[in-house]
């Protein structure tokens, strides 16, 4: 919906009851007011903004937002009218490569943990402990991806199929008596649908990163809104490099990489020297505790203290994976950590992390 609504104002009259009533209607219809890029107000009187208000805007439904996840609205310069034209952009297809991300909803699938353990124990890899751990995680990605494609499938597709089959049985029951096998199949379809709805909710909760809401509260639509909002908020459409405004996505990526490569490149190698005499030091007991080998209890406690739905690192595995799989992966994890303790060295990718560039402030 493209609307002419008064909201944010500068030197304008206060909101009327009709305006408040219309705002309540927007809320009742669950319409989304997208952030406006390029301007704070869409109407102004005079070039000096003697009076200004955000009147014009696009309002979209949740279903429309799900179909166009990169939608945004931006204000264009006003030429003749005292209103700024509003441009609605639906985005384009993301051609970036798709990376493995562990879905916590898989853990709800019957027999999945047993499959993980079987796959993990089947890998026969020889080498340093940290190398073995990385290779096992890498091979496990391949097996999980194949299982997801061939057995688990897309939740939305499976849910649609189950709903269609259930509707067919219910329609048939209106004209004839269903057989016992058909009744059993209907019951199994309802059980499958309940499991799929829960899996869908877990998946969207993971994407939304709303850790303050619990699973099972039927908040799937809310999680979808939050996930799409994160996606729009973290998207960088423009980048200012010097005096130039860049909008091409490939150039934005390249300029970002070039900037940080230059920032973290050391032109001259030098190290400062310092005199540490007189600085307070730790006790012998504290030194022993810091240098002691890693214990299973403390490693498990650190893993269990992490939120299971937090965004995964470069390996794609969430903390929920490590928490649920601890019984059969702990040997390899502890071996890799003890190898590091003994040699003070690990494979570089063990310490890899993501650096995310996100907007620092809203565009005015």
Asked whether residue 108 falls in the same domain as residue 59, the answer is no
Asked whether residue 69 falls in the same domain as residue 23, the answer is yes
- Report if residue 254 sits inside a domain: no
- Report if residue 220 sits inside a domain: yes
- Report if residue 345 sits inside a domain: no
Asked whether residue 50 falls in the same domain as residue 109, the answer is no
pLDDT grade for 89, boundaries at 50, 70 and 90: confident
Please enumerate in sequence order all residues whose Cβ is within 8 A of that of 73, keeping only pairs 6 or more positions apart, or say none: 34, 35, 36, 37, 57, 58, 86, 87, 88, 89
Asked whether residue 209 falls in the same domain as residue 108, the answer is yes
Backbone angles phi, psi at 196, to 5 degrees: -70, -40
Greater confidence, 73 or 211?
73
Quote the mean pLDDT of the chain: 77
pTM of the predicted model as reported, rounded to 2 decimal places: 0.54
Please enumerate in sequence order all residues whose Cβ is within 8 A of that of 7, keeping only pairs 6 or more positions apart, or say none: 23, 53, 54, 55, 57
Reply yes or no on whether the pLDDT at 250 is more than 70: yes
Nearest to 118 by CA among 144, 100, 138, 99: 144
Contacts 24+ apart (CB under 8 A), 137-143: 137/315, 137/317, 140/116, 141/100, 141/316, 143/115, 143/119
Asked whether residue 10 falls in the same domain as residue 68, the answer is yes
pLDDT grade for 216, boundaries at 50, 70 and 90: very low
Q: What integer pLDDT is reported at residue 263 of this predicted model? A: 82
Q: What integer pLDDT is reported at residue 327 of this predicted model? A: 95
In this structure, what token pair is assigned to residue 298? 């403390």
Q: What integer pLDDT is reported at residue 212 of this predicted model? A: 39
Task: Give the count of beta carbons closer than 10 Å to the beta carbon of residue 13.
Answer: 10
In this structure, what token pair is assigned to residue 242? 């010097």
- Report if residue 239 sits inside a domain: no
- Report if residue 282 sits inside a domain: no
Mean pLDDT of 107-121: 91
Asked whether residue 108 falls in the same domain as residue 227, the answer is yes
Reply yes or no on whether the pLDDT at 278 is more than 60: yes
Asked whether residue 47 falls in the same domain as residue 108, the answer is no
Please enumerate in sequence order all residues whose Cβ is within 8 A of that of 230, keeping only pairs 6 or more positions apart, or say none: 207, 208, 209
Reply yes or no on whether the pLDDT at 266 is more than 80: no
Reply yes or no on whether the pLDDT at 85 is more than 80: yes
Asked whether residue 110 falls in the same domain as residue 68, the answer is no
Domain count, the chain: 2
Contact 136, 119 (CB under 8 A): no
In angstroms, the CA 71 to CA 91 distance is 6
Asked whether residue 41 falls in the same domain as residue 77, the answer is yes
- Report if residue 240 sits inside a domain: no
Q: Domain range for residue 213? A: 104-114+152-234
Mean pLDDT of 64-79: 73
In this structure, what token pair is assigned to residue 216? 């099972």
Strands 72-75 and 36-37, by their bridges, are parallel
- Of 234, 261, 276, the domain-final residue: 234
Q: What integer pLDDT is reported at residue 153 of this predicted model? A: 67
Contact 32, 59 (CB under 8 A): yes
Asked whether residue 18 falls in the same domain as residue 84, the answer is yes
Asked whether residue 171 falls in the same domain as residue 72, the answer is no
Q: What integer pLDDT is reported at residue 364 of this predicted model? A: 42
In angstroms, the CA 150 to CA 122 distance is 20
In this structure, what token pair is assigned to residue 132? 């073995």
Tell me the range of 135-149, 225-239, 260-274 where mean pLDDT is highest. Answer: 135-149
- Of 184, 205, 234, the domain-final residue: 234
- Report if residue 241 sits inside a domain: no
Asked whether residue 85 falls in the same domain as residue 14, the answer is yes
């Amino acid at each position: 919906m493209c609307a002419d609504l008064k909201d944010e104002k500068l030197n304008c009259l206060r909101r009327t009851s009709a305006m408040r009533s219309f705002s309540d209607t927007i809320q009742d219809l669950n319409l989304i007011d997208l952030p406006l890029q390029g301007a704070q107000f869409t109407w102004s009187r005079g070039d000096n903004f003697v009076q200004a208000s955000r009147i014009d805007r696009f309002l979209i439904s949740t279903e429309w937002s799900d179909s166009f996840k990169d939608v945004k609205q931006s204000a264009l310069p006003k030429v003749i009218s005292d209103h700024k034209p509003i441009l609605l952009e639906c985005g384009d297809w993301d051609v970036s490569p798709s990376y493995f991300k562990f879905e916590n909803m898989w853990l709800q699938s019957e027999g999945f943990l047993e499959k993980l353990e079987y796959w993990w124990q089947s890998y026969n890899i020889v080498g340093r402990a940290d190398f073995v751990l990385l290779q096992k995680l890498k091979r496990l990605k391949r097996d999980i991806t194949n299982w997801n494609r061939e057995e688990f499938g897309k939740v939305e597709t499976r849910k649609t199929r189950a709903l269609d089959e259930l509707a067919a049985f219910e329609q048939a029951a209106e004209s004839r008596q269903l057989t016992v096998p058909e009744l059993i199949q209907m019951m199994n379809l309802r059980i499958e649908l309940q499991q799929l709805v829960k899996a869908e909710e877990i998946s969207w909760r993971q994407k939304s990163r709303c850790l303050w809401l619990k699973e099972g509260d039927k908040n799937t639509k809310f999680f979808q809104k939050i996930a799409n909002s994160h996606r729009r908020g973290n998207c960088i459409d423009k980048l200012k490099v010097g005096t130039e405004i860049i909008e091409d996505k490939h150039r934005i990526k390249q300029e970002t990489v070039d900037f940080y490569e230059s920032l973290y490149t050391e032109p001259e190698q030098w190290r400062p020297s310092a005199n540490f005499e007189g600085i307070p030091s730790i006790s012998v007991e504290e030194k022993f505790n810091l240098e002691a080998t890693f214990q299973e209890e403390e490693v498990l406690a650190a893993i269990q203290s992490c939120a299971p739905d937090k965004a995964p690192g470069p390996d794609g595995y969430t903390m929920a994976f490590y928490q649920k799989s601890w019984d059969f992966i702990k040997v390899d994890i502890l071996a890799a950590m003890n190898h590091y303790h003994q040699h003070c060295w690990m494979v570089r990718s063990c310490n890899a992390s993501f650096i995310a560039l996100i907007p620092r402030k809203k565009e005015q």
